[in-house]
Amino acid sequence: MSELLLIRHGETEWSRDGRHTSWTDLPLTANGEDQARALRPLLSARKIAQVYASPMARALRTAELAGLPSPQIVDDLREWDYGGDEGITTAEIHRTRPGWYLFDDGVAPGPADHPGESPEEVGARADRVLALIAPHLEADEGDVALVAHAHFLRVLTARRLGLPATAGGLFTFGTGAVGVLGTEHDRPAVVAWNARSL
- Residue 59: strand pairing partners: none
Strand 4-8 versus strand 178-184 pairing type:
antiparallel
Active site residue 20: no
**Closest C-alpha to 152, from 21, 28, 19:** 21
Mean pLDDT to the nearest integer, 138-145: 95
Tell me the C-alpha distance between 57 and 54, whole Å.
8
Q: Which of 11, 33, 79, 117 is catalytic?
A: 79
pLDDT at residue 183 tops 70: yes
Q: Which domains does the chain have, with CATH numbers?
A: 4-195 (3.40.50.1240)
pTM > 0.95:
yes
Per the annotation, the verdict on 9 as an active-site residue is: yes
- How many Cα atoms occupy the beta-carbon half-sphere of 7 within 13 Å? 37
Most distant CA pair in the chain: distance in Å? Answer: 50
Mean pLDDT to the nearest integer, 86-92 = 97
Tell the burial category of 79 from Cβ atoms under 10 Å away from its Cβ (0-12, 13-18, 19+). buried
Tens of pLDDT, residues 19-32: 999 999 999 999 99
3, 9, 33, 117: which is the annotated catalytic residue? 9
pLDDT tens for residues 41-66? 999 999 999 999 999 999 999 999 99
With a cut of 90, say whether residue 69 has pLDDT above it. Answer: no
